[in-house]
Structure 1
Amino acid sequence: MAKIYFTLTGTKYYYGKEFLKPGITLQLKKEPNNKYDKEAIVVRMEGLGDIGHVANSTHTVIGESMSAGRIYDKIGDTAKAKVVMVTEHGTICKLCKKSMVDHKRKNVEEDVSE
């Protein structure tokens, strides 16, 4: 499975980005009731809480990283990620493989339980 990168954005509305360094572990949580974006994914850091969101706009996604809409169905309600690079335009993070939903396995489990 290919590595999935995304852009962390909106940090200026929380604590800024000066504390973010490569290797830091982050938690992602879907926000289905977000009034601005039905595919919103909030990004949290242990000890701080919410620090931003997964970018979901062509204006905030950096390069070939994925938007929240493109990873929304690839993760469960929560997921983990690591900071890869901090730039002046945003922070690039990598989704942890263990956070990925295995749709093939999920379908097999649903077939067995029926």
Structure 2
Amino acid sequence: MGKIYFTLTGTKYYYGKEFLKPGMTLQLEKEPDNQYDKEAIVVKMEGLGDIGYVANSTYTVIGESMSAGRIYDKIGDTAKAKVVLITDRGIICKISKKSLSNLEQ
């Protein structure tokens, strides 16, 4: 399986994005009980907790990065990711290969 990129969005509702830097490690966690989106994946950072969500709308997904709905079945209940690029529209992140390989075994 190739590299999987996603857009981190909604950071303005938590701590903003100013503290994020390329290479920082993030934790993804599925939220199947989310009342707004059954494919919701919350993004967390150690020491802070929730910092945003994996974008799941054509209005919030940047470029060819994948939406939460497209990666939902490619990860387990949790996954690790790294910040790759920070833009005005959102943050591009990459899912760790280890998080993906668990499903392929």
TM-score, normalised to structure 2, is 0.97
Residue in structure 2 matched with residue 43 of structure 1 by the alignment? 43
Residue 68 of structure 1, CA deviation: 0.1
Long gaps (5+) in structure 2:
none
Q: Partners of 2:26 and 2:11 in 1: how far apart?
A: 13
Please state whether the residue corresponding to 1:12 is helix, strand or coil: helix
Q: Partners of 1:50 and 1:26 in 2: how far apart?
A: 10
Residue in structure 1 matched with residue 77 of structure 2 by the alignment? 77
Task: Please tell me whether the aligned partners of residues 76 and 103 of structure 2 are also in contact (alpha carbons under 8 angstroms).
Answer: no
Residue 102 of structure 1, CA deviation: 4.8
TM-score, normalised to structure 1, is 0.89
Task: Please tell me whether the aligned partners of residues 14 and 51 of structure 2 are also in contact (alpha carbons under 8 angstroms).
Answer: yes
Residue 101 of structure 1, CA deviation: 5.1
- What percent identity do the matched residue pairs reach? 80
Residue in structure 2 matched with residue 66 of structure 1 by the alignment? 66
| C-alpha RMSD over aligned residues | 1.0
Structure label with greater radius of gyration: 1
Segments ≥4 residues shifted beyond 4 Å: 101-104
Deviation digits for residues 1-39 of structure 1 (CA, Å, limit 9, x no counterpart): 210000000000000000000000000000000000000
Long gaps (5+) in structure 1:
106-114
Please state whether the residue corresponding to 1:100 is helix, strand or coil: helix
Residue 83 of structure 1, CA deviation: 0.0
Deviation digits for residues 56-76 of structure 1 (CA, Å, limit 9, x no counterpart): 000000000000000000000
Size of the aligned set, in residue pairs, is 105
Residue in structure 2 matched with residue 110 of structure 1 by the alignment? none
